[in-house]
Amino acid sequence: MALYLPTLSDGPVTVRPVRVRDARALERELLDNRAWLRQWEATNPNGPSGFDTRGSIRALLANSRAGHGMPFIIEYEGQLAGQLNVSSISYGSLSSATIGYWVSERFAGKNATPTAVALVTDHCFFTVGLHRMEICIRPENKPSLRVVEKLGFRYEGLRRRYIHINGDWRDHFCFALVVEEVRQGVLRRWKDGAVPALVAQRPEVDVRAAEHPLPVIK
Ligand SMILES: CC(C)(COP(=O)(O)OP(=O)(O)OC[C@H]1O[C@@H](n2cnc3c(N)ncnc32)[C@H](O)[C@@H]1OP(=O)(O)O)[C@@H](O)C(=O)NCCC(=O)NCCS
């Protein structure tokens, strides 16, 4: 089932479907922001993979045609600012998906990402009909933790060595929303100042645990 990819806007922020012709501009942003992005980038556990922006856009679009993902560009005042990908979409009794994102350093701190996440989450809930949206973040990633705090994604737990990032398996804090929590919509709730306090807060026991790597047997 191919997924319809909408264009969604709020103020200076637009999310729109990625296109193959974005490859050149996207590659420039990715290269110019290497130092900014590398620490948080998903990597291949089976060794280095080449830098092929056109190929990865094609793979994202094929995944979307198969109904498994929704690849978006984040624009700020009409300029390409970053990417937001909905992935691992499952239907039926799970009806769930995961969100990942980045913006270039020069667009940081302008609420581009929380706005994009709110727009896309609302689309997934109220148009696609998904039930649960998840975001997983490395414990060290304070700016990204602010994104889920602002929008009131609820803390669900610590997943040890969960995603291969920047060359190794990394712990992640996981957050989620189910549609019943946000009947008014994620964007509306945030704009109305109605996000419940502390739902994204991590308990001390998980914060402490994440400070100590899981012992691994070689
Ligand atoms: C995490 C990230 C997507 C946040 O996007 P954003 O659009 O800047 O989000 P916000 O505008 O809500 O800013 C979030 C926090 O970043 C911090 N921040 C603001 N400007 C910043 C800057 N120039 N540099 C670093 N951090 C900054 C602030 O703490 C801000 O919180 P505040 O608004 O309460 O002050 C972005 O920092 C990024 O792309 N980082 C690199 C890739 C990455 O971490 N991806 C996410 C992996 S889970």
What is the CATH classification number for the domain harbouring 201?
3.40.630.30
Flag whether 53 is in a domain: yes
Round to whole Å and give the CA distance between 113 and 19. 20
Flag whether 215 is in a domain: no
Q: Are strands 70-76 and 13-17 parallel, antiparallel or unpaired?
A: antiparallel
Whose C-alpha lies nearest to ligand 1, atom 2? 144
pLDDT beneath 50: ranges in the chain: none
Q: What is the pLDDT of residue 167?
A: 94
CB distance 200 to ligand 1 below 6 Å: no
CB distance 113 to ligand 1 below 6 Å: yes
Flag whether 83 is in a domain: yes
For residue 62, give its domain range. Answer: 8-210
Flag whether 1 is in a domain: no
Cα 70 from chain centre = 11
Flag whether 107 is in a domain: yes
Flag whether 217 is in a domain: no
Q: What is the pLDDT of residue 42?
A: 94
Q: What is the pLDDT of residue 121?
A: 98
Helix 53-65 with 23-32: angle, nearest 10 deg: 120
Q: What is the pLDDT of residue 50?
A: 74
Q: What is the pLDDT of residue 152?
A: 98
Flag whether 74 is in a domain: yes
Q: What is the pLDDT of residue 66?
A: 97
Flag whether 3 is in a domain: no
Whose C-alpha lies nearest to ligand 1, atom 48? 137
Question: How many domains in the chain?
Answer: 1
Instruction: Give, in order, the Cα–Cα distances in Å from 21 to each of 5, 11, 30, 58, 94.
Output: 16, 25, 15, 10, 34
Nearest CA-CA partner of 13 in 106, 76, 87, 79: 76
